[in-house]
């Protein structure tokens, strides 16, 4: 049982390291990537808010 938990922790750590490495590579590739992702998130949030207001208004 303890061995299985240890394997899970080790696997989670490896996944976290791989994710961190991927994020470093993404940031190194272009500084505009973060800006584009931010605006994409902001636009989608705005669209969802407007859609929510329209749904509430129609009730």
DSSP letter for 30, please.
-
Query: What is d(CA 46, CA 52) in angstroms, rounded to the nearest whole number?
Result: 10
Quote the number of domains for the chain: 1
Angle at 16 between CA 44 and CA 33, to 5 degrees: 35
| pLDDT for residue 1 is more than 60 | no
Range of the domain at 14: 2-58
Query: What is d(CA 15, CA 40) in angstroms, rounded to the nearest whole number?
Result: 26
| pLDDT for residue 2 is more than 70 | no
Interval 21-46: pLDDT, tens: 887 877 776 777 778 889 999 999 99
Query: What is d(CA 40, CA 58) in angstroms, rounded to the nearest whole number?
Result: 27
Instruction: Provide the pLDDT for residue 44.
Output: 97
């Amino acid at each position: 049982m303890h061995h299985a938990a240890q394997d899970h922790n080790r696997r989670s750590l490896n996944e976290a390291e791989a994710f961190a490495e991927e994020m470093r590579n993404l940031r190194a590739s272009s500084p505009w990537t973060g800006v584009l992702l931010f605006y994409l998130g902001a636009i989608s949030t705005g669209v969802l808010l407007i859609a929510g207001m329209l749904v509430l208004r129609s009730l």
